[in-house]
Amino acid sequence: MLRERLRPMTESKLQPFTERVLRIIKEIPEGYVMTYGQIAAAAGSPIGARQGVRILHLMSKAHKLP
């Protein structure tokens, strides 16, 4: 049961905030940086920095993120 919850989500099951965070991260030009707070704010949740960290940690390999 725990493994199912920890398994990376597919594109079709992503929450809107998660989709926005992934899109924003993919659009950051090479050589530029954004803080987790900036990413969360750009995705519509100025207090969602920790969720942005979690999204990046859990999905970076599956979505080929930096």
Give the burial string for 15-46 (b: 16+ CB within 10 Å, else e). eebbebbbebbeeeeeeeeeebeebbbbbeee
In this predicted structure, what is the pLDDT of residue 47?
Answer: 94
Mean confidence (pLDDT) of the chain: 84
| Structure confidence by residue, pLDDT tens digits, 39-49 | 999 999 999 99
> Would the pLDDT of 63 be above 60?
yes
Residues 19, 24: Cα–Cα separation, whole Å: 9
pTM for the full predicted model: 0.75
